[in-house]
Amino acid sequence: MWPAIRLLLVAILLFGGAWPVTKAALADATPLWFGTSRAGLAALVAFLLLAVLGRLRLPRREDMRAVLGLGIFQLGLFFVLTHLAVALVPAGRTAVLSNVVAYWLIPLSVLLLGERVSPARWAAAGISLAGAAVLIGPWAVDWGNTQVVLGHIMLVTASLAWVIAIIATRRWPPRTPIIQLLPWCFALGTLVLAPLALLLEPDGGIGRGAWTHMLFIGLFAAPVGTFCVIEASRRLPGAVASVWFLLIPAFGVLVSALWLGEPIGWDVILGGVLVVVSVLIAARG
């Protein structure tokens, strides 16, 4: 289990910081074009890297369910929904809601994969959800604002799309190593994003001020972080993975506060403590 957790720690650092970077980039970019560019650039990097290493191959027939699940749901719909939502919702809250997969992953893992969850891990999931609720701070949300409510619905739906991808890779594990499937997954995600960007943001694009952010995410954070998350998701039980994923938004909230000036109050401190406690319980249970 610990090799998978080490992969998650890398993902936490990369993805936790990705949402504040994305939020900052949207000052000079439109959401869907930014999402399309980061997915397309990650696909290009993955194709070139595997070609140089002599490992670029077409996916096998047995790999296609996992490729479709990852490309359409995790790298397509997840990016669409989160990039639209981050323009409406603070980056810290986006990081939390989009990564709270416990309320989807644990029940679906039990129902569809037949996993058994120990009482300790059910308790860890409950504590993690409580921590996420505190981090989100629903009492501070303007629920009368239609756009804010829509942003939150998008983020909850995005986490479901991510869970569908996780379930697909665990229900139908690919025979080809995940790293060799990444370029095809990112390419498929780009094909989902690009038409929507053309349709919904015909006058959009990426300004000079957002290029540095896009290059960091597309060249490094997206391909490396996605590989780490997918591999860890396949290796860890659903109850453990869903709890550990909450360290991503906890780190994201911290970065958002330090970089973007989003406030740190008692709710951020308490929520972070609850998330860390839940991770420790899940690891031991």
Q: What pLDDT, on a 0 to 100 scale, did the predictor assign at position 150? A: 86
In terms of DSSP H, where are the helices of the chain?
Answer: 2-25, 31-53, 64-68, 78-85, 91-99, 102-113, 119-136, 146-171, 178-200, 208-216, 222-235, 238-244, 247-260, 266-284
Torsion angle defined by CA atoms of residues 242, 244, 245 and 248, in that order, rounded to the nearest 10 degrees: 160
pLDDT at 95: 61
Report pLDDT digits (tens) over 262-277. Answer: 666 676 677 767 766 7
What's the rounded Cα separation, in Å, for the pair 110 and 105? 8
- The domain ranges of the chain are 2-284
- pLDDT in the model for residue 65: 92
pLDDT of residue 72: 94
pTM: 0.76
In degrees and rounded to multiples of 5, residue 207 shows phi and psi of -80, 170
Residues 143-161: pLDDT tens digits?
Answer: 778 887 888 788 888 888 8
Q: Is the alpha carbon torsion for 92, 5, 275, 246 positive or negative?
A: positive
End-to-end alpha carbon distance in the chain = 12
What the block records as the tokens of 108 is: 């679906």
29 forms beta bridges with 206
Residue 109, CB-side half-sphere exposure with 13 Å CA sphere: 23
pLDDT for residue 183: 93
Low-confidence residues of the chain: pLDDT under 50: none
Return the half-sphere exposure (C-beta side, CA atoms, 13 A cut-off) of residue 246: 34
Q: CA 246, CA 272: separation in Å to the nearest integer?
A: 9
CA atoms within 13 A on the CB side of 266: 0
* Residue 193: predicted pLDDT: 93
Q: What is the pLDDT of residue 248?
A: 72
pLDDT of residue 94: 64
Provide the 3-class DSSP secondary structure of residue 29: strand
pLDDT of res. 196:
92
